[in-house]
Chains A and B, each alone.
Chain A
């Protein structure tokens, strides 16, 4: 019995240390963003003074709000596109028989192994040629169909009973009606996982938005934060406040949908 207790104590001690390593940096950011002035030491365990003035200055800066707006527009558009297109493509793969089906599906798996940073130069040239450089199209259109989404939705829709669709078809329902009114509501658990994954990637993404835009008014939040680091126009508490605004949406979404997200991430990994 004692050895069980010892084991539990060791496990708890290890996890306390790990949790501190993981959470302290973000705690410093939070404390740094609610302190009045910086003084000599920038990071403190306990805030010397409490103020929301840095958040106010960000919310009242039209430049900062533009970055937030850009991040929201891009993330929401890409998530919406992926929900619609992945359902459609997943449905095609799950329910239809056609030429080259196995090859097209295998291509989605293969593409997941392509390191995206390796094709940055040709993609930049392609986007420039299309006339999309420094526009929302560059940040949205190439990412509307995610290979992970294709994979997830095909797997999920294949597991749904086909009888409901048959009944609807007998009643004269069109393909689009079946996909968006019958399959989509049934596939909600898989769509939630996909939405979070896609949101996470796009909300945090740096390299592509950085390379594919140039004007200040097209910058997303992470890109702006990275570029603002060295500027005189922003002080460090403000930078931490902006970082907090960048970090919180993902953390909130994760806390709310934790169970589904973890189940989704791990079920995909265990299968492959």
Chain B
């Protein structure tokens, strides 16, 4: 009954005014301003800006650094999200089975995801350093780690940061999967058992279809998050070595706050914004299409 509102009054606008102000001043205005800025070139020395139409955008697509940043960010997103999602699902199914110390396991997996990324990145910098534990572990398996350390070699720096991100992030998504699993009515399992379904059959026909909406949600929020990866890069590699870990938000930061070309940086930010929107929409289309039929 309250969805349409109980008291009818102009006071409603007064009560929601904090949100209206925040929305207009700190969200919509920046979003619009950023769009306008992206058509201006900033002259750092003279401190002036000039309208340059689409030149910033044209320059970006010829900028090696920007293309490297887009490539690395896409590799990061495509290379981490499937692992994060699958580990989250495995962990949730394991915790949902009847085992001792469930609560302890659940807490352990969530802790890295609520810890400051700066702190996690500092710790992993040491784990990945020459003589660090990760290098030693690799030697046990007969792989020799790069002498300079995993973060200073072009081939291993990005994968190392990706591996760290998966470990830090999956516990949070496990919580979401766990809640969805606990929402499945018990009698569905029983019905499947009566039909002669084994463990795998139950997983395939009962659990998986039920997890589709939450999987879509996890994919979308993780995509939005992963496209914006910045802190790890800033703390661990500053985009190096040789641009091998340069990501899109790091590029925006560098163009805007190191090189002070705000117009150019805004154009890069807008391209990233569009890219994120397209990726999220694609996922909704691919994974959300059968939702209505169910």
Contact surface of A with B, Cβ cutoff 8 Å? 3, 7-8, 10-12, 14-15, 18-19, 21-23, 25-26, 28-29, 32, 40-43, 85, 88-89, 91-99, 101, 104, 107-108, 111, 113-126, 142, 144-145, 147, 150, 158, 162, 175, 179, 200, 203-204, 206-207, 211, 221-223, 225-226, 229, 236, 239-240, 243, 246-247, 250-251, 254-255, 258, 262, 265-267, 269-270, 272
The contact of B29 among A40, A126, A206, A236, by CB within 8 Å, is A126
Is A29's CB under 8 angstroms from B114's CB? no
**In the assembled complex, B291 has its CB within 8 A of some CB on chain A:** no
Which chain B positions have C-beta within 8 A of A145? 18-19, 21-22
A8-B99, A122-B33 as given contacts; A23 in contact with B108, CB under 8 Å:
yes
Is A119's CB under 8 angstroms from B123's CB? no
A22-B167, A107-B23 as given contacts; A92 in contact with B176, CB under 8 Å:
no
Is B133's CB under 8 angstroms from A115's CB? no
A158-B2, A269-B214 as given contacts; A123 in contact with B123, CB under 8 Å:
no
Which chain B positions have C-beta within 8 A of A95? 2, 5-7
Is B266's CB under 8 angstroms from A158's CB? no
Give Cα distance in the complex from A240 to B123, angstroms.
Answer: 8
- Size bracket, chain B contacts: 35 or more
Which chain A positions have C-beta within 8 A of B100? 12
Give Cα distance in the complex from A36 to B37, angstroms.
Answer: 52
A14-B90, A95-B7 as given contacts; A247 in contact with B2, CB under 8 Å:
no
Contact surface of B with A, Cβ cutoff 8 Å? 2-16, 18-23, 25-27, 29-31, 33-34, 37, 87, 90-91, 93-95, 97-101, 104-105, 107-112, 114-127, 129, 131-133, 167, 171, 175-176, 178-180, 183, 199, 214, 217, 224, 227-228, 230-231, 234-235, 249, 252-253, 256-257, 262, 265-266, 269-270, 272-273, 276, 280
Give Cα distance in the complex from A246 to B120, angstroms.
Answer: 11
Is B10's CB under 8 angstroms from A98's CB? yes
Is A96's CB under 8 angstroms from B117's CB? no
Q: Which residue of A lies closest to B269 (CB)?
A: A118
Is B34's CB under 8 angstroms from A25's CB? no
Give Cα distance in the complex from A171 to B266, angstroms.
Answer: 55
Give Cα distance in the complex from A23 to B104, angstroms.
Answer: 12
Give Cα distance in the complex from A88 to B273, angstroms.
Answer: 31
The contact of B13 among A11, A98, A122, A123, by CB within 8 Å, is A98
Give Cα distance in the complex from A222 to B87, angstroms.
Answer: 28
Is A206's CB under 8 angstroms from B256's CB? no
Give Cα distance in the complex from A255 to B103, angstroms.
Answer: 11
A97-B5, A222-B116 as given contacts; A239 in contact with B122, CB under 8 Å:
yes
Q: Which residue of B lies closest to A210 (CB)?
A: B234
Q: Which of A21, A114, A118 has the most CB of B within 10 A?
A: A118
Is B30's CB under 8 angstroms from A119's CB? yes
Which chain B positions have C-beta within 8 A of A7? 97, 199
Is B256's CB under 8 angstroms from A120's CB? yes
Is B123's CB under 8 angstroms from A226's CB? no
A-B contact pairs, 10 of them (CB 8 A): A8-B97, A12-B101, A19-B104, A42-B126, A43-B126, A97-B5, A122-B33, A123-B26, A175-B15, A207-B253
